[in-house]
Amino acid sequence: MRTLFFNLFLLCVVALSGQRREVHILSVNDVHATLEYMPQLAAIADSLRASYPSLLVLSAGDNRTGNPLNDKYNPSGYPMVAMMNQIGFDASAVGNHDFDMMSLPRLSQLSHFSYLCANLAMDSMLVDKDSLATEGLYVRPYKVFDVDGLRVGIIGTVQVGQLGRPDTHPDNLVGLRFEDPVECVRRHEWFSRQCDVTILLSHAGYRADTLAAHTCPWLDLIVGGHSHKQLDSSEVIGGIPITQNSHRLYHATHITIICDSGRVTDRQVEYIDVRNFSQKSTVVENMLHYYSESPFFRQVLATAATPFNNIYELGCMVCDALIECTEADVSLYNHRGIRMQYLPAGDITVRDVLTMDPFGNNACILVITGKELYNLIKSYSRMEINHFPHLGGFKAKVTVSKDNPETITDFKLFAIDGSPLKMKRTYRVVTNSYVSAASRAFGISKRIGLNSETADMIMDFLKRRGTVDYQGVNRIVFQ
């Protein structure tokens, strides 16, 4: 009798191990606190969960920064976390902007999901009383989820730039150190041997994801972010599907992983239009109304006589605002420090400015020569179009590579009257504290911190002007 029961047990085990089973995942990336479309995302999650109760909901990072309703809340970033909790997220990569405002420790304590980042470590030699490392930062390198008996392992990574850290204000990263994300993933092959399915949840960018796919064949799937690159369902590198959406909840991804006898046999990817989804979650929509009530954000500061049609027109206005408020000679603003591409004609509100400039950076003055200014721009821009800064009080002619239109081969600086910028003259250059902190690495030592946020200066500028018109204004000529 004992032998009979044992044989029946073995038959059950074999039968279960041979079952065809599926893992269903709903993923987003680079949402940047686009709260207004979270009710649609919640409805998508509810719809999928009705068919697939074990649905995993994942974010590939940069959940925050870009919406003042979220970023100016106390604690900063909580409305987004509250909605993610309601939707039932299981895990999030840590994006570079998730470090903004130094609120990640508190948010990690309030989140009902796990933050995953294997290439982050806390350096006890660098910890001080104001660092994230001493504030209860709950981040783990990986996590294994039980999905209907399958062990689904997820490893998280964050982007690391040329300076050896994620692209956020360096003061946000005191006490933390970072490893190259791909090298880090390579060292985790052992982890895949403990899992039926192994997923890389990456905020390292598309290039890093493709390199990981080529060098880590034991991965079953890469859910990516950071590059804001809309991929399609055919994106497979080295046999590994890579998914990524653009940003701000234009799309989400439904991924189906099919396993047979404990092995991954197929993966299917479907991109879902979030903004045009026909249903909304009533609960999350009520949460949105609650967080949107403040009249402060609706205050009108000025009128745009014509629309701002691109980031360069907005950059010119921001740089002019900083010069007018500080009486500096010229101004410099990091290209990606402006988080808006278009602003229509009509009222410009507090919310518009805080969406345009959401980081809470202070203004700073650099006292440097024209030659040092040139070298700072050259180093800081990485000679790439998407990193070339916005300018105020002077202009630039930029030569672009014929072979690679994203690469700069040369640039020249000019005064507003068209004469060459004087290389030996000393200039007072107003910028933000992010650029100022980064300038240390490029040998700039004379910096004067101002106790005023750049967003406040922009708002003061708009109030004084009443009406602004920057249509067609551009101080950078690409040739």
Model confidence at 171, pLDDT cuts 50, 70, 90, reads confident
pLDDT for position 6: 46
pLDDT for position 123: 65
Least confident of 40-49, 126-135, 171-180, 344-353: 126-135
Q: CB within 8 A of 445, min separation 6: which ones?
A: none
pLDDT for position 133: 52
Q: Which two tokens stand for residue 379?
A: 């180093």
pLDDT, greater one: 380 or 198: 198
Q: Where are the alpha helices (DSSP H) in 257-405?
A: 282-291, 311-326, 350-356, 370-381
Say which amino acid occupies 112.
H
User: How confident is the model over 269-281, as a mean pLDDT?
Assistant: 98
Count helices and strands (H / E) in the chain. Answer: 14, 25
pLDDT for position 446: 80
For 251-282, b/e burial (b = at least 16 CB within 10 A) is bbbbbebebeeeebeebebebbebeebeebbe
Model confidence at 261, pLDDT cuts 50, 70, 90, reads confident
pLDDT for position 9: 47
Mean pLDDT, the chain, rounded, equals 92
pLDDT, greater one: 262 or 354: 354
Pairing of strands 390-392, 394-400: unpaired
Among positive and negative, which fits the CA dihedral 271, 277, 278, 280? positive
CB atoms within 10 A of CB 235: 19
pLDDT in tens, 412-441: 999 999 999 999 999 999 999 999 888 877
Tokens 């006898």 belong to residue: 261
pLDDT for position 3: 53
Q: Is residue 44 pLDDT above 60, yes or no?
A: yes
User: How confident is the model over 171-192, as a mean pLDDT?
Assistant: 95
From CA 76, how far away is CA 107, in angstroms rounded?
A: 8
Model confidence at 111, pLDDT cuts 50, 70, 90, reads very high
Residue 167 burial by Cβ neighbours in a 10 Å radius (0-12, 13-18, 19+): buried
From CA 193, how far away is CA 123, in angstroms rounded?
A: 29
User: How confident is the model over 379-388, as a mean pLDDT?
Assistant: 93
Residue 159 — φ and ψ, nearest 5°? -65, 140
Q: CB within 8 A of 84, min separation 6: which ones?
A: 59, 63, 92, 111, 112, 113
